[in-house]
Chains A and B, each alone.
Chain A
Amino acid sequence: DQQVKQNSPSLSVQEGRISILNCDYTNSMFDYFLWYKKYPAEGPTFLISISSIKDKNEDGRFTVFLNKSAKHLSLHIVPSQPGDSAVYFCAAGGGGTSYGKLTFGQGTILTVHP
């Protein structure tokens, strides 16, 4: 049972353009969401998060949007830079059986071309 899904295994974007990474979830008990970035041979590093009481959170070039009714969140990177090339994971946490742990999606490989 995949509670958090990232349906696009990969995304290729030109430098300077917008990157949009998508994530869907099924568990209505999730009430906070995070995006992690992972470079090869490194552990995931936290990028940005959003609580379910918000629909948008912005941090520099990174913006996360949450659509609770659709159980969908997205990460926008504007403008994209070659250094953004990495694997991006969305993760969700919340109450009930999800308390105290993060459930991750499968990841999307982002490649930003110069």
Chain B
Amino acid sequence: EAGVVQSPRYKIIEKKQPVAFWCNPISGHNTLYWYRQNLGQGPELLIRYENEEAVDDSQLPKDRFSAERLKGVDSTLKIQPAELGDSAVYLCASSWVAAGELFFGEGSRLTVL
């Protein structure tokens, strides 16, 4: 069974540029998460989807971040415009149910110059 797939693995951009990350969760997993991990810290939730509905986006900086999960499968996380402080690893995870074990992708490392 394929795991959570994320792309790109690495992205280097200049500040004020846009960037997008893509995630394909494990087949059949209804719940999808985007986490951000800063250097030396644990992952922090940005947004959680139940199917195509964003049920928890309280930690998403909505002025510059947006996310979507079309048809309740793949998801895209976008930052526009990027700031220096957005440099981090963006992790996508999925699970069978909301309150269960999360399966993580390898992450997308963003560097904003």
Contacts and interface: CB of A to CB of B under 8 A. Distances in A.
Interface stretch (B13-21, B69-77, B80-88, B104-112): B104-112
A100 B56 contact: yes
B56 to A, nearest CB: 6
Q: What interface size band does chain A fall in?
A: 20 to 34
A42 B89 CA distance: 10
Interface string A8-34: 010000000000000000000000101
A4 interface: yes
Contacts of B99: 32, 93-94, 99-100
B43 A99 contact: no
A43 B107 contact: yes
B105 A43 contact: yes
Question: Which one of B48, B99, B105, B107 has the highest number of Cβ atoms from chain A below 10 Å of its Cβ?
Answer: B99
Contacts of A34: 101
Given A99-B98, A100-B55, A100-B99, A105 B42 contact: yes
Q: What interface size band does chain B fall in?
A: 20 to 34
A41 B104 CA distance: 12
B45 interface: yes
Nearest to A34: B101
A46 B42 contact: no
Contacts of A45: 104
Contacts of A41: 106
Given A46-B101, A46-B102, A106-B40, A101 B45 contact: yes
Contact of A101 (B4, B33, B41, B107): B33
15 contacts: A41-B106, A42-B106, A44-B91, A44-B104, A46-B101, A89-B43, A94-B99, A99-B98, A100-B31, A100-B50, A100-B98, A101-B45, A101-B48, A102-B102, A103-B45
- Kindly list the 7 A-B residue pairs having the minimum CB-CB distance in the complex, ordered from nearest: A104-B42, A43-B104, A100-B98, A43-B106, A44-B104, A101-B45, A104-B43
